[in-house]
Amino acid sequence: MTVDSRSGAPRILLIVGGGIAAYKACELVRLIRKAGGSVTCVITEGGQQFVTPMTLAALSENPVYTTLWDLKDEAEMGHIQLSREADLVVVCPATADLLAKMTAGLADDLATTLLLATDKPVLAVPAMNVRMWQHAATQRNIAWLRESGVEVMEPDEGPMACGEYGPGRLPEPETIWTAIAARLALVAPLEADPLSGQPDFDAEPAHRPLYGRHVLVTAGPTHEPIDPVRYIANRSSGKQGFAIAAAAAAAGARVTLIAGPVTLETPSGVERIDVESAREMADAVNGALPADVAVMVAAVADWRSKDFAAQKMKKRGTAPPALLLAENPDILAGLAVARQRPRLLIGFAAETENVIANAKAKRERKGADWIVANDVSGPREDSVMGGESNAVHVITAGGVETLEQMPKSAVARALVERIARELEPKDE
Ligand code: C5P
């Protein structure tokens, strides 16, 4: 017997640990099934205190395994086979205890035995009390697991079932599914669209989630001229902004993309306005209003050369000229107080340290509704700017949601889904 007899469908072995967040595993099963994946669930003894095997069996339409002894009959399935039939093993919620057992290599129940026996990629989704999460033992275990190739998601921050506040909440099932889909794209090409359980981007245009909306996107760097041949610039490639414009258009929106100097093709269905400098970008943004949503992805230069030399500046054998800088308009902060402020205003933040704290402060300072923060520190070869993938934190008034490392197109689509969800209920 195989975990899934339908060929091509991604197969997930879901290990449900014992925590209050176990109920969210039920929603995760539903999302995986809706997207065309198959799930086989294993639930620990602790997990069964929170959800029943019957619930998981009904949602997954597969048998649910609870003890090693379920699998003693080799005519059914041995634990080695069960651990290897899946494309991906997901531990959700991964309790502090399960993570510690995985680190120690313990195998005293079905879940831990499968985790020790598997040769498949493992994604662990932790959920626990904030102190347990911050405890040195847990942090050490997570560091070791990550070093050993286990992908451990960051928990969400917010109020917890136990009444405390902090990191340790299980991420929302949609976020977990996005991480699973990204991981599956790496280990086994998906036949099913990994996001097909989400708003329908392929529906008739009038039924797409952003139909009738105007989405304004800025992307790329700006070039701030010094003289006719020299300028101040940065390394932004524009890829993330272009991907967001493409995803918004695919979701049915009318999209205006205001692009700094980049060499990317215009995504289909997108109206593009090319600009050079921050001031040109600001004018183009104001000219494109009104918009329902503005996503300011451009890495706008903070400063421009105060003076523009009409002729190329020459070396004259004297000391080099001083470059005086003037501050550029802050397009995002300006939009936040504009008469035609878009209903949903989203900024990006490229940070090299204290990513979340700095991004939260930026959200307040700039008056944005959301800030999408990414960590641009690290070696140049795998840095975010110019690269193909991104890992971001979406900071809203309600908290922080982390999207694990995935292609920029997947980040774009996940963001557009959130935008569609945010706009929907307020219209009712
Ligand atoms: O202040 P910082 O450059 O880190 O802020 C980044 C966010 O602000 C991005 O969304 C960027 O597009 C926007 N921004 C802007 N105008 C500026 C500087 C940044 O719109 N002059």
- Ligand 1 in reach of 217 Cβ (< 6 A): no
Q: In angstroms, what is the span from residue 298 Cα to ligand 1's centroid?
A: 7
Number of C-beta neighbours around residue 237 at 10 A:
20
C-beta 331 within 6 A of ligand 1: yes
| 125 within a domain of the structure (yes/no) | yes
* Residue 162 pLDDT > 70: yes
Residue 329 in marked binding region? yes
Asked whether residue 242 is assigned to any structural domain, the reply reads yes
Q: Cite the active site residues.
A: 162
Residue 103 resides in a domain? yes
Q: Are residues 163 and 204 in the same domain?
A: no
427 located within any domain? no
- The answer to whether residue 3 sits within a structural domain is no
Picking from 168, 185, 202, the residue at the C-terminal end of a domain is 185
CATH of the domain at 15: 3.40.50.1950
Q: Is 70 a pocket residue for ligand 1 (Cβ < 6 Å)?
A: no
- For ligand 1, whether the C-beta of 346 sits within 6 Å is no
CATH number at residue 401: 3.40.50.10300
User: Quick check: is 316 in a domain?
Assistant: no
Band (pLDDT 50/70/90 cuts) for residue 352 is confident
Q: What is the pTM of this model?
A: 0.59
Q: What's the 359 CA to ligand 1 centre distance in angstroms?
A: 11
pLDDT of residue 376: 77
Domain that holds residue 229: 194-311+321-422
Least confident interval from 144-158, 275-289, 321-335: 144-158
> Rounded to an integer, what distance in angstroms lies between the CA atom of residue 5 and that of residue 71?
18
One-letter identity of residue 419: I
Residue 77 has pLDDT above 70, yes or no: no
> Which of 22-31, 136-145, 238-247, 305-314 comes out lowest in average pLDDT?
305-314
pLDDT at 380: 41
Question: Whose CA is closest to atom 17 on ligand 1?
Answer: 330
Residues 204, 282 within the same domain:
yes
Same domain assignment for residues 80 and 174: yes
Structural domain contains residue 126? yes
Judge if 170 and 233 occupy the same domain: no
Does residue 336 sit in the same domain as residue 222?
A: yes
Q: How many domains does the chain have?
A: 2
Q: Quote the pLDDT of residue 225.
A: 96
366 is in an annotated binding site: yes
Chosen domain end from 166, 185, 204: 185
User: Is 348 a known ligand-binding residue?
Assistant: yes
Model pLDDT, residue 188: 43
The answer on 329 and 235 residing in a single domain is yes
Q: Is the CB of 278 under 6 A from ligand 1?
A: yes
- Protein residue whose Cα sits closest to atom 19 of ligand 1: 300
Same domain, 286 and 212: yes
pLDDT, averaged across the chain: 87
Spacing, Cα 219 to ligand 1 middle (Å): 11
Confidence of residue 72 (pLDDT cuts 50, 70, 90): low
Q: What is the pLDDT of residue 195?
A: 41
Do residues 132 and 221 share a domain? no
CA 166 to ligand 1 centroid distance, Å: 28
- Residue 91 confidence (pLDDT): 98
Task: Indicate whether residue 330 lines ligand 1 (CB < 6 A).
Answer: yes
**365 & 327 share domain:** yes
SS (H, E, C) the chain: CCCCCCCCCCEEEEEECCCCCHHHHHHHHHHHHHCCCEEEEEECCCHHHCCCHHHHHHHHCCCEECCHHHHCCCCCCCHHHHHHCCCEEEEEEECHHHHHHHHHCCCCCHHHHHHHHCCCCEEEEECCCHHHHHCHHHHHHHHHHHHCCCEECCCEEEECCCCCEEEEECCCHHHHHHHHHHHHHHHCCCCCCCCCCCCCCCCCHHHCCCCCCEEEEEECECCEECCCCCEECCCCCCHHHHHHHHHHHHCCCEEEEEECCCCCCCCCCEEEEECCCHHHHHHHHHHHCCCCEEEECCECCCEEECCCCCCCCCCCCCCCCCCCEEECCCHHHHHHCCCCCCCEEEEEEEECCCHHHHHHHHHHHHCCCEEEEEECCCCHHHCCCCCCEEEEEEEECCEEEEEEEEEHHHHHHHHHHHHHHHHHHHCC
Asked if 82 and 170 sit in the same domain, the reply is yes
| Whether residues 212 and 342 fall in one domain | yes
How does pLDDT run across 362-416, given as a tens digit for each residue?
Answer: 999 999 999 999 887 765 445 566 677 788 999 999 999 888 888 888 899 999 9
Task: Give the position, in ligand 1's atom list, of the atom nearest the Cα of 334.
Answer: 20
**CA 422 / ligand 1 centre spacing (Å):** 22
Domain membership of residue 4 (yes or no) is no
